[in-house]
Copies of this chain bind each other. A is one copy, B any other.
Amino acid sequence: MRDFLPEDVRRREHVIVVIKRVYERYGFEPLETPAVENLETLLGKYGDEGNQLIYKILKRGEGEASGEADLALRYDLTVPLARVVAHHHAKLPRLFKRYQIQPVWRADRPARGRFREFYQCDVDALGSTSPVIEAELCAAVADAMVELGFAEFSIRLNHRQLLTSMLNASGITETLHGAALVALDKEDKIGVDGVRQELAQRGVLPESARSLFAAIGALRDRAPVSGLDETGVAALANLDAIETMAKGTQAEARLRRDPSLARGLSYYTGAIMEVNVADLAGSLGGGGRYDNLVGMFSGQQIPACGFSLGLERILVVMSERGMFPASLATTPADVMVAVFDAAGLPHAMRVAGQMREAGLRVLVYPDADKIGKQIKYADGRGIPFVALLGADEIAKGDVTVKNLAAQSQQTHSQSAAGAAILEALKNRG
């Protein structure tokens, strides 16, 4: 887990602000949940591997000595959302569109762009099975990507029920479906031959695998696939409907059917999506429809669909590709006030106050160090202006403003200096 120094925080906030603005434009509202959930809320929702990666919290007080855990750190934002919807059902609208940008924790081995504490930017809609939902999620994610500066990316689209139908049509028994999906999901990493090997290892007959790959190939070519059952046909129609709804949105040109896309999580029940950028292995995020998860908490089935972007992966790519705007503040202040001796400090405070009222970010150098040392501090921190208060300036109610980059200086009345610096900042762009 990492500390975020000021520059890191500013970059993170830039991305979060863009994503929030886009999500709100689509009518999604903010939700926040506690970092800590009851352990039993989380157990059994993420598969065996997931259970192992949950950070568990010791009972407090008397119970502490027992070594037992009753609480746990949030593992994703989807299960807490399902709990919230089940729990606060009466207070929430029938159609509930929420976004949530908060950290989650997994006791995983850290790797490039993968951390034990990381932020997810989730956006979900509950209460409707309409393909409008999937289309809007894809459109919102595509808008966010474009506004972050990503030019080339795609949103891969598939359907869990289409996968199930293909697996059935290929003669793969239901007990092997989970294993087959896990293998398929690795095509990115291990290639088609790798998937074929893994399917064989997991007990899928060669002729079934052949038939599965034939079906995937046919779907890729948009050719008819033989043997799909009713559910599979309906799934294909659902994908068509999603694409129709996405017409005219930023998602239209990005959507790409990928019949081998499987997604790891077990709770998906319908369309699944994943967003990829050019020249980057792995995805920046993904999502899908999960119509049964809320029911696990309340017994009441509430259809749901969502998309999650990974903040850390987005930041890694944006940093590597120099995608942050030059306007992103990188200095602690617009101007630093410096004095020649301690008697000047109360005056520095007053002048700083005036400049803040004018709209500037002002740092008062707090000690009467040698003036060269003070200016060096401002320069080292990238603060563009230094306001100097010598005995002369103080006596006259003036202040001398030094432009460090231009190596020029000008004396103003204290009341006018703020406006002058603001003007100079604007002209610098």
Contacts and interface: CB of A to CB of B under 8 A. Distances in A.
Copies of this chain assembled into the complex? 2
Given A247-B349, A349-B136, A9 B31 contact: yes
A36 interface: yes
Interface of A: 1-6, 8-10, 12-13, 24-36, 52, 55-58, 60-61, 64-69, 71, 73, 80, 84, 87-88, 91-95, 97-98, 103, 105, 107, 116-117, 125, 128, 130, 132-133, 135-136, 139, 143, 244-249, 332-333, 336, 345-346, 348-350, 353, 356, 360-367, 377, 380-381
Nearest to A53: B60
Given A34-B117, A117-B34, A362-B26, A353 B5 contact: no
A419 to B, nearest CB: 16
A364 B336 CA distance: 49
Q: Which 9 A-B pairs give the minimum distances between C-beta atoms?
A: A67-B67, A27-B363, A1-B34, A6-B29, A130-B366, A132-B366, A9-B30, A27-B333, A4-B32
Contact of A69 (B12, B58, B363): B58
A347 to B, nearest CB: 9
Q: Is the interface of A mostly helix, strand, loop or mixed?
A: mixed
Given A95-B377, A249-B349, A366-B95, A36 B1 contact: yes
Given A4-B33, A136-B366, 9 more contacts: A1-B34, A3-B32, A3-B88, A26-B362, A27-B361, A35-B73, A245-B345, A248-B349, A248-B353
A135 B352 CA distance: 12
Given A4-B33, A130-B367, A248-B349, A25 B92 contact: no
Given A67-B58, A245-B345, A380 B33 contact: no
B332 A27 contact: yes
Contact of A31 (B5, B27, B336, B350): B5
B3 A34 contact: yes
A78 to B, nearest CB: 14
Given A13-B30, A25-B356, A58-B56, A132 B345 contact: yes
A139 B350 CA distance: 11
Contacts of A3: 31-34, 80, 84, 87-88
Given A5-B88, A5-B92, A107 B60 contact: yes
A346 to B, nearest CB: 5
